Structure 1
Protein backbone atom coordinates (compact mmCIF):
# COMPACT_ATOMS: atom_id res chain seq x y z
CA UNK A 1 0.00 0.00 0.00
CA UNK A 2 1.33 3.42 -0.96
CA UNK A 3 0.48 6.86 0.35
CA UNK A 4 -2.58 7.42 2.53
CA UNK A 5 -4.30 10.67 1.59
CA UNK A 6 -6.83 12.64 3.58
CA UNK A 7 -9.48 12.63 0.82
CA UNK A 8 -10.32 10.83 -2.40
CA UNK A 9 -12.93 12.59 -4.55
CA UNK A 10 -14.91 10.26 -6.83
CA UNK A 11 -16.74 12.49 -9.30
CA UNK A 12 -17.20 12.06 -13.06
CA UNK A 13 -17.66 15.77 -13.85
CA UNK A 14 -14.09 16.94 -14.24
CA UNK A 15 -14.75 20.60 -13.43
CA UNK A 16 -16.48 19.71 -10.14
CA UNK A 17 -13.85 17.12 -9.28
CA UNK A 18 -11.01 19.57 -9.94
CA UNK A 19 -12.74 22.30 -7.95
CA UNK A 20 -13.24 20.07 -4.90
CA UNK A 21 -9.71 18.63 -5.00
CA UNK A 22 -8.23 22.09 -5.55
CA UNK A 23 -10.16 23.70 -2.70
CA UNK A 24 -9.38 20.92 -0.23
CA UNK A 25 -5.71 21.13 -1.21
CA UNK A 26 -5.74 24.89 -0.59
CA UNK A 27 -7.21 24.18 2.85
CA UNK A 28 -4.20 22.01 3.65
CA UNK A 29 -5.61 18.53 3.01
CA UNK A 30 -3.98 15.92 0.80
CA UNK A 31 -6.53 15.06 -1.88
CA UNK A 32 -6.84 13.27 -5.20
CA UNK A 33 -9.68 12.68 -7.65
CA UNK A 34 -10.94 9.93 -9.96
CA UNK A 35 -13.93 9.77 -12.28
CA UNK A 36 -15.59 6.42 -11.54
CA UNK A 37 -15.95 3.55 -9.10
CA UNK A 38 -13.79 1.43 -11.36
CA UNK A 39 -11.02 4.06 -11.27
CA UNK A 40 -11.38 4.26 -7.50
CA UNK A 41 -10.97 0.49 -7.17
CA UNK A 42 -7.75 0.68 -9.22
CA UNK A 43 -6.55 3.68 -7.16
CA UNK A 44 -7.08 1.81 -3.89
CA UNK A 45 -4.81 -1.00 -5.08
CA UNK A 46 -1.85 1.37 -4.62
CA UNK A 47 -3.09 4.02 -2.19
CA UNK A 48 -5.52 4.66 0.64
CA UNK A 49 -7.68 7.55 1.85
CA UNK A 50 -9.31 8.45 5.15
CA UNK A 51 -12.36 10.21 3.66
CA UNK A 52 -14.31 9.66 0.45
CA UNK A 53 -16.26 12.42 -1.31
CA UNK A 54 -18.52 10.34 -3.52
CA UNK A 55 -20.91 11.22 -6.31
CA UNK A 56 -23.78 8.75 -6.66
CA UNK A 57 -24.54 9.25 -10.34
CA UNK A 58 -21.36 7.82 -11.80
CA UNK A 59 -20.80 6.08 -15.14
CA UNK A 60 -20.55 2.31 -14.73
CA UNK A 61 -21.30 1.17 -11.18
CA UNK A 62 -23.14 3.82 -9.18
CA UNK A 63 -21.69 5.26 -6.00
CA UNK A 64 -24.60 3.92 -4.00
CA UNK A 65 -24.19 0.38 -5.33
CA UNK A 66 -20.50 0.57 -4.51
CA UNK A 67 -21.18 1.60 -0.92
CA UNK A 68 -23.72 -1.18 -0.51
CA UNK A 69 -21.33 -3.74 -2.00
CA UNK A 70 -18.19 -2.68 -0.13
CA UNK A 71 -19.03 -2.84 3.56
CA UNK A 72 -15.34 -2.30 4.37
CA UNK A 73 -15.68 1.30 3.16
CA UNK A 74 -17.66 2.10 6.30
CA UNK A 75 -14.36 2.28 8.18
CA UNK A 76 -13.73 5.50 6.26
CA UNK A 77 -15.47 8.84 6.40
CA UNK A 78 -18.00 9.00 3.57
CA UNK A 79 -19.46 12.22 2.21
CA UNK A 80 -21.99 11.96 -0.61
CA UNK A 81 -22.32 14.84 -3.06
CA UNK A 82 -24.97 14.33 -5.71
CA UNK A 83 -27.78 15.87 -7.72
CA UNK A 84 -30.22 13.41 -6.12
CA UNK A 85 -31.57 15.09 -3.02
CA UNK A 86 -34.99 13.69 -2.23
CA UNK A 87 -35.70 12.55 1.31
CA UNK A 88 -35.76 8.87 0.34
CA UNK A 89 -32.46 9.20 -1.52
CA UNK A 90 -30.80 10.91 1.44
CA UNK A 91 -32.05 8.19 3.79
CA UNK A 92 -30.80 5.47 1.44
CA UNK A 93 -27.39 7.13 1.34
CA UNK A 94 -27.25 7.34 5.12
CA UNK A 95 -28.24 3.69 5.47
CA UNK A 96 -25.43 2.79 3.06
CA UNK A 97 -22.93 4.40 5.42
CA UNK A 98 -22.71 8.07 4.47
CA UNK A 99 -21.60 10.46 7.22
CA UNK A 100 -22.61 13.54 5.23
CA UNK A 101 -24.93 14.27 2.29
CA UNK A 102 -24.59 17.32 0.03
CA UNK A 103 -26.84 18.21 -2.89
CA UNK A 104 -25.15 19.92 -5.84
CA UNK A 105 -24.10 22.68 -6.17
CA UNK A 106 -21.96 22.02 -3.11
CA UNK A 107 -20.69 24.79 -0.84
CA UNK A 108 -16.97 23.99 -0.70
CA UNK A 109 -16.44 25.68 2.65
CA UNK A 110 -19.18 23.59 4.22
CA UNK A 111 -17.78 20.48 2.57
CA UNK A 112 -14.29 21.19 3.93
CA UNK A 113 -15.73 21.54 7.44
CA UNK A 114 -17.31 18.09 7.13
CA UNK A 115 -13.97 16.72 5.93
CA UNK A 116 -12.21 18.25 8.94
CA UNK A 117 -14.74 16.83 11.39
CA UNK A 118 -14.41 13.35 9.92
CA UNK A 119 -10.60 13.46 9.93
CA UNK A 120 -10.62 14.61 13.55
CA UNK A 121 -12.79 11.62 14.40
CA UNK A 122 -10.82 9.10 12.35
CA UNK A 123 -7.31 10.16 13.29
CA UNK A 124 -6.65 9.35 16.94
CA UNK A 125 -4.25 11.70 18.65
CA UNK A 126 -1.53 10.87 21.14
CA UNK A 127 -3.24 12.50 24.11
CA UNK A 128 -5.03 10.91 27.04
CA UNK A 129 -8.02 12.65 28.58
CA UNK A 130 -9.18 12.71 32.19
CA UNK A 131 -12.82 13.68 32.66
CA UNK A 132 -13.51 14.52 36.30
CA UNK A 133 -17.23 15.03 35.68
CA UNK A 134 -17.81 11.64 34.07
CA UNK A 135 -15.17 9.85 36.21
CA UNK A 136 -13.45 8.36 33.15
CA UNK A 137 -9.96 8.12 31.70
CA UNK A 138 -9.95 8.13 27.89
CA UNK A 139 -7.14 6.61 25.86
CA UNK A 140 -5.74 8.26 22.68
CA UNK A 141 -7.80 5.72 20.71
CA UNK A 142 -10.99 7.10 22.27
CA UNK A 143 -11.75 4.20 24.61
CA UNK A 144 -13.00 4.93 28.14
CA UNK A 145 -12.35 3.27 31.47
CA UNK A 146 -14.59 4.11 34.44
CA UNK A 147 -12.75 5.22 37.56
CA UNK A 148 -13.43 4.78 41.25
CA UNK A 149 -13.32 7.84 43.51
CA UNK A 150 -9.83 6.93 44.73
CA UNK A 151 -8.53 6.29 41.21
CA UNK A 152 -9.93 9.62 40.04
CA UNK A 153 -8.31 11.46 42.96
CA UNK A 154 -4.96 9.84 42.19
CA UNK A 155 -5.10 10.73 38.49
CA UNK A 156 -6.22 14.29 39.25
CA UNK A 157 -3.03 14.76 41.26
CA UNK A 158 -0.92 13.40 38.41
CA UNK A 159 -2.83 15.52 35.86
CA UNK A 160 -1.68 18.80 37.42
CA UNK A 161 1.76 18.34 35.86
CA UNK A 162 1.92 15.35 33.47
CA UNK A 163 5.45 14.00 33.27
CA UNK A 164 6.42 15.34 36.68
CA UNK A 165 6.77 13.33 39.88
CA UNK A 166 3.98 13.81 42.40
CA UNK A 167 4.98 12.93 45.94
CA UNK A 168 3.07 10.24 47.79
CA UNK A 169 2.12 12.63 50.60
CA UNK A 170 0.35 14.92 48.11
CA UNK A 171 -1.70 12.03 46.76
CA UNK A 172 -2.49 10.72 50.23
CA UNK A 173 -3.85 14.10 51.29
CA UNK A 174 -5.94 14.24 48.10
CA UNK A 175 -7.38 10.87 49.15
CA UNK A 176 -8.44 12.48 52.42
CA UNK A 177 -5.95 10.59 54.57
CA UNK A 178 -3.03 11.48 56.85
CA UNK A 179 0.41 10.75 55.33
CA UNK A 180 1.76 9.88 58.78
CA UNK A 181 -0.72 7.05 59.38
CA UNK A 182 -1.67 5.97 55.85
CA UNK A 183 -0.62 2.43 54.85
CA UNK A 184 1.20 2.93 51.54
CA UNK A 185 0.36 -0.64 50.56
CA UNK A 186 -3.23 0.50 49.98
CA UNK A 187 -2.03 2.89 47.28
CA UNK A 188 0.15 0.22 45.71
CA UNK A 189 -2.81 -2.17 45.54
CA UNK A 190 -5.00 0.56 44.04
CA UNK A 191 -2.38 1.36 41.39
CA UNK A 192 -1.90 -2.29 40.52
CA UNK A 193 -5.66 -2.73 40.04
CA UNK A 194 -5.86 0.46 37.98
CA UNK A 195 -3.05 -0.69 35.70
CA UNK A 196 -4.74 -4.05 35.18
CA UNK A 197 -8.09 -2.37 34.47
CA UNK A 198 -6.56 -0.03 31.90
CA UNK A 199 -4.75 -2.89 30.19
CA UNK A 200 -7.84 -5.09 30.04
CA UNK A 201 -10.41 -2.45 29.06
CA UNK A 202 -8.31 -0.12 26.90
CA UNK A 203 -5.83 -2.60 25.47
CA UNK A 204 -2.79 -0.45 26.30
CA UNK A 205 -0.30 -0.15 29.13
CA UNK A 206 -1.09 2.54 31.69
CA UNK A 207 1.38 5.45 31.33
CA UNK A 208 1.85 5.68 35.09
CA UNK A 209 5.39 5.37 36.43
CA UNK A 210 6.44 4.64 39.99
CA UNK A 211 9.43 6.51 41.36
CA UNK A 212 10.71 4.34 44.17
CA UNK A 213 10.13 5.76 47.67
CA UNK A 214 9.11 9.11 46.18
CA UNK A 215 5.88 9.15 44.20
CA UNK A 216 4.30 8.67 40.80
CA UNK A 217 4.06 10.35 37.40
CA UNK A 218 1.73 10.22 34.40
CA UNK A 219 4.23 9.86 31.55
CA UNK A 220 2.09 10.72 28.52
CA UNK A 221 0.32 13.88 27.25
CA UNK A 222 -2.85 14.31 29.31
CA UNK A 223 -5.75 16.73 28.93
CA UNK A 224 -7.76 17.22 32.11
CA UNK A 225 -11.23 18.72 32.12
CA UNK A 226 -14.12 18.80 34.52
CA UNK A 227 -14.02 19.66 38.21
CA UNK A 228 -10.36 20.70 38.53
CA UNK A 229 -10.25 21.36 42.26
CA UNK A 230 -7.32 19.71 44.07
Structure 2
Protein backbone atom coordinates (compact mmCIF):
# COMPACT_ATOMS: atom_id res chain seq x y z
CA UNK A 1 0.00 0.00 0.00
CA UNK A 2 2.82 2.43 0.87
CA UNK A 3 4.36 2.40 -2.59
CA UNK A 4 0.89 2.91 -4.11
CA UNK A 5 0.83 6.33 -2.47
CA UNK A 6 4.33 7.39 -3.58
CA UNK A 7 4.78 9.67 -6.59
CA UNK A 8 8.03 10.76 -8.22
CA UNK A 9 7.98 14.37 -9.45
CA UNK A 10 10.71 15.06 -12.01
CA UNK A 11 10.86 18.82 -12.62
CA UNK A 12 13.79 21.23 -12.71
CA UNK A 13 11.81 24.28 -11.55
CA UNK A 14 11.73 24.37 -7.75
CA UNK A 15 8.58 26.50 -7.68
CA UNK A 16 6.70 23.97 -9.80
CA UNK A 17 7.92 21.08 -7.63
CA UNK A 18 6.68 22.93 -4.53
CA UNK A 19 3.28 23.52 -6.14
CA UNK A 20 2.90 19.87 -7.13
CA UNK A 21 3.98 18.69 -3.69
CA UNK A 22 1.40 21.01 -2.12
CA UNK A 23 -1.51 19.54 -4.07
CA UNK A 24 -0.35 15.91 -3.94
CA UNK A 25 0.37 15.85 -0.21
CA UNK A 26 -3.02 17.46 0.39
CA UNK A 27 -4.51 14.36 -1.28
CA UNK A 28 -2.50 11.99 0.92
CA UNK A 29 0.29 11.10 -1.50
CA UNK A 30 3.98 10.89 -0.59
CA UNK A 31 6.15 12.95 -2.94
CA UNK A 32 9.75 12.23 -3.93
CA UNK A 33 11.50 14.87 -6.05
CA UNK A 34 14.18 14.84 -8.73
CA UNK A 35 15.48 18.01 -10.38
CA UNK A 36 17.12 16.40 -13.42
CA UNK A 37 16.88 13.35 -15.64
CA UNK A 38 19.85 11.44 -14.25
CA UNK A 39 18.66 11.82 -10.67
CA UNK A 40 15.21 10.64 -11.74
CA UNK A 41 16.64 7.41 -13.14
CA UNK A 42 18.61 6.88 -9.93
CA UNK A 43 15.40 7.24 -7.91
CA UNK A 44 13.57 4.81 -10.20
CA UNK A 45 16.36 2.25 -9.74
CA UNK A 46 16.28 2.60 -5.95
CA UNK A 47 12.56 2.85 -5.17
CA UNK A 48 9.11 1.73 -6.30
CA UNK A 49 6.61 4.40 -7.30
CA UNK A 50 2.90 4.42 -8.02
CA UNK A 51 3.32 7.06 -10.73
CA UNK A 52 5.88 9.41 -12.28
CA UNK A 53 5.23 13.04 -13.22
CA UNK A 54 7.91 13.83 -15.78
CA UNK A 55 8.79 17.20 -17.29
CA UNK A 56 10.09 17.10 -20.87
CA UNK A 57 12.64 19.92 -20.63
CA UNK A 58 15.18 18.71 -18.07
CA UNK A 59 18.92 19.17 -17.49
CA UNK A 60 21.27 16.19 -17.90
CA UNK A 61 18.72 14.00 -19.73
CA UNK A 62 15.48 15.26 -21.30
CA UNK A 63 12.14 13.81 -20.31
CA UNK A 64 11.72 11.79 -23.48
CA UNK A 65 15.03 10.01 -22.88
CA UNK A 66 14.09 9.39 -19.25
CA UNK A 67 10.69 8.03 -20.30
CA UNK A 68 12.32 5.66 -22.79
CA UNK A 69 14.78 4.38 -20.16
CA UNK A 70 12.06 3.93 -17.52
CA UNK A 71 10.00 1.86 -19.94
CA UNK A 72 12.89 -0.60 -20.35
CA UNK A 73 12.52 -1.78 -16.76
CA UNK A 74 9.29 -0.37 -15.28
CA UNK A 75 5.59 -0.38 -16.12
CA UNK A 76 4.84 2.55 -13.80
CA UNK A 77 2.29 5.11 -15.12
CA UNK A 78 3.95 8.26 -16.50
CA UNK A 79 2.38 11.70 -16.96
CA UNK A 80 4.54 14.05 -19.02
CA UNK A 81 4.57 17.82 -18.47
CA UNK A 82 5.64 20.24 -21.16
CA UNK A 83 5.22 23.77 -22.45
CA UNK A 84 4.98 22.34 -25.92
CA UNK A 85 1.48 21.75 -27.22
CA UNK A 86 2.14 20.60 -30.77
CA UNK A 87 0.56 17.31 -31.80
CA UNK A 88 3.90 15.83 -32.82
CA UNK A 89 5.25 16.32 -29.29
CA UNK A 90 2.24 14.62 -27.74
CA UNK A 91 2.53 11.73 -30.18
CA UNK A 92 6.23 11.39 -29.39
CA UNK A 93 5.46 11.13 -25.69
CA UNK A 94 2.81 8.47 -26.22
CA UNK A 95 5.06 6.49 -28.58
CA UNK A 96 7.77 6.43 -25.90
CA UNK A 97 5.33 4.98 -23.37
CA UNK A 98 3.79 7.98 -21.59
CA UNK A 99 0.28 7.36 -20.26
CA UNK A 100 -0.86 10.98 -20.28
CA UNK A 101 0.41 14.35 -21.45
CA UNK A 102 -0.29 17.71 -19.77
CA UNK A 103 0.61 21.05 -21.36
CA UNK A 104 1.83 23.95 -19.21
CA UNK A 105 0.28 26.06 -17.82
CA UNK A 106 -2.16 23.59 -16.33
CA UNK A 107 -4.60 23.33 -13.46
CA UNK A 108 -3.03 21.44 -10.52
CA UNK A 109 -6.50 20.17 -9.59
CA UNK A 110 -6.97 18.74 -13.08
CA UNK A 111 -3.56 17.06 -12.84
CA UNK A 112 -4.57 15.45 -9.53
CA UNK A 113 -7.75 14.12 -11.15
CA UNK A 114 -5.71 12.65 -14.02
CA UNK A 115 -3.37 11.02 -11.51
CA UNK A 116 -6.25 9.46 -9.62
CA UNK A 117 -7.80 8.22 -12.86
CA UNK A 118 -4.55 6.47 -13.82
CA UNK A 119 -4.06 5.00 -10.35
CA UNK A 120 -7.58 3.57 -10.25
CA UNK A 121 -6.47 1.32 -13.09
CA UNK A 122 -2.80 0.76 -12.25
CA UNK A 123 -2.94 0.67 -8.45
CA UNK A 124 -6.56 0.76 -7.23
CA UNK A 125 -5.67 0.76 -3.54
CA UNK A 126 -3.80 4.06 -3.97
CA UNK A 127 -6.97 6.14 -4.15
CA UNK A 128 -8.22 5.64 -0.65
CA UNK A 129 -11.43 6.97 0.83
CA UNK A 130 -10.59 10.26 2.50
CA UNK A 131 -14.10 11.64 2.14
CA UNK A 132 -14.88 11.50 5.86
CA UNK A 133 -12.26 11.91 8.60
CA UNK A 134 -13.43 10.51 11.92
CA UNK A 135 -11.87 11.00 15.35
CA UNK A 136 -13.26 10.49 18.86
CA UNK A 137 -16.01 13.10 19.20
CA UNK A 138 -15.19 14.75 15.87
CA UNK A 139 -16.23 14.07 12.27
CA UNK A 140 -15.15 16.01 9.17
CA UNK A 141 -17.21 15.29 6.05
CA UNK A 142 -15.36 16.53 2.99
CA UNK A 143 -18.08 16.32 0.28
CA UNK A 144 -20.63 18.05 2.53
CA UNK A 145 -18.02 20.37 4.08
CA UNK A 146 -19.67 19.55 7.37
CA UNK A 147 -18.01 19.27 10.78
CA UNK A 148 -19.70 17.61 13.74
CA UNK A 149 -18.34 17.77 17.30
CA UNK A 150 -19.95 15.83 20.12
CA UNK A 151 -22.81 15.00 17.77
CA UNK A 152 -23.70 18.54 16.72
CA UNK A 153 -22.80 20.51 13.62
CA UNK A 154 -20.15 23.19 14.05
CA UNK A 155 -20.70 26.29 11.87
CA UNK A 156 -17.39 27.16 10.22
CA UNK A 157 -16.35 29.70 7.61
CA UNK A 158 -14.93 28.23 4.36
CA UNK A 159 -11.32 28.92 5.39
CA UNK A 160 -11.87 27.62 8.94
CA UNK A 161 -13.14 24.40 7.41
CA UNK A 162 -10.24 24.20 4.93
CA UNK A 163 -7.70 24.74 7.70
CA UNK A 164 -9.26 22.12 9.97
CA UNK A 165 -9.57 19.54 7.19
CA UNK A 166 -5.98 20.11 6.04
CA UNK A 167 -4.51 19.70 9.53
CA UNK A 168 -6.72 16.68 10.31
CA UNK A 169 -5.81 14.98 7.03
CA UNK A 170 -2.12 15.34 7.99
CA UNK A 171 -2.58 14.38 11.65
CA UNK A 172 0.63 14.44 13.68
CA UNK A 173 2.55 16.59 11.22
CA UNK A 174 3.68 20.05 12.32
CA UNK A 175 3.20 22.97 9.92
CA UNK A 176 4.65 26.46 10.15
CA UNK A 177 2.37 29.45 9.65
CA UNK A 178 4.02 30.07 6.29
CA UNK A 179 3.26 26.52 5.16
CA UNK A 180 -0.35 26.82 6.25
CA UNK A 181 -0.74 30.10 4.38
CA UNK A 182 0.59 28.43 1.23
CA UNK A 183 -1.37 25.21 1.50
CA UNK A 184 -4.71 26.48 2.80
CA UNK A 185 -4.94 30.03 1.49
CA UNK A 186 -3.18 29.37 -1.79
CA UNK A 187 0.32 29.30 -3.20
CA UNK A 188 0.30 32.99 -4.17
CA UNK A 189 -1.43 34.29 -1.04
CA UNK A 190 0.61 36.98 0.66
CA UNK A 191 -1.10 37.38 4.01
CA UNK A 192 -0.15 38.36 7.53
CA UNK A 193 0.97 35.35 9.55
CA UNK A 194 -1.52 36.38 12.21
CA UNK A 195 -4.23 35.24 9.80
CA UNK A 196 -3.37 31.65 10.75
CA UNK A 197 -3.38 32.42 14.47
CA UNK A 198 -6.78 34.07 14.22
CA UNK A 199 -8.33 31.14 12.38
CA UNK A 200 -6.86 28.62 14.84
CA UNK A 201 -8.25 30.69 17.73
CA UNK A 202 -11.70 30.82 16.12
CA UNK A 203 -11.66 27.09 15.41
CA UNK A 204 -10.77 26.27 19.00
CA UNK A 205 -13.51 28.50 20.33
CA UNK A 206 -16.17 27.00 18.07
CA UNK A 207 -15.12 23.41 18.80
CA UNK A 208 -14.91 24.11 22.53
CA UNK A 209 -18.40 25.59 22.44
CA UNK A 210 -19.63 22.43 20.74
CA UNK A 211 -18.01 20.40 23.50
CA UNK A 212 -15.36 18.44 21.59
CA UNK A 213 -12.43 18.83 19.21
CA UNK A 214 -10.54 21.90 20.41
CA UNK A 215 -7.95 19.67 22.10
CA UNK A 216 -6.90 18.28 18.70
CA UNK A 217 -5.47 21.65 17.60
CA UNK A 218 -2.06 21.83 19.24
CA UNK A 219 0.35 24.77 19.24
CA UNK A 220 3.99 23.79 18.75
CA UNK A 221 5.75 26.77 20.30
CA UNK A 222 8.26 28.49 18.05
CA UNK A 223 7.17 26.42 15.04
CA UNK A 224 3.46 26.38 14.24
CA UNK A 225 0.49 24.04 14.63
CA UNK A 226 -0.52 20.41 14.27
CA UNK A 227 -3.59 18.21 14.62
CA UNK A 228 -2.76 15.65 17.33
CA UNK A 229 -4.76 12.55 18.18
CA UNK A 230 -3.70 11.36 21.60
CA UNK A 231 -3.88 7.68 22.51
Task: Provide TM-score, normalisation by structure 1.
Answer: 0.50
Q: Which of these two proteins has the greater Rg computed from alpha carbons?
A: 1
Q: Which structure dedicates a bigger proportion of its chain to helix?
A: 2
Task: Provide TM-score, normalisation by structure 2.
Answer: 0.50
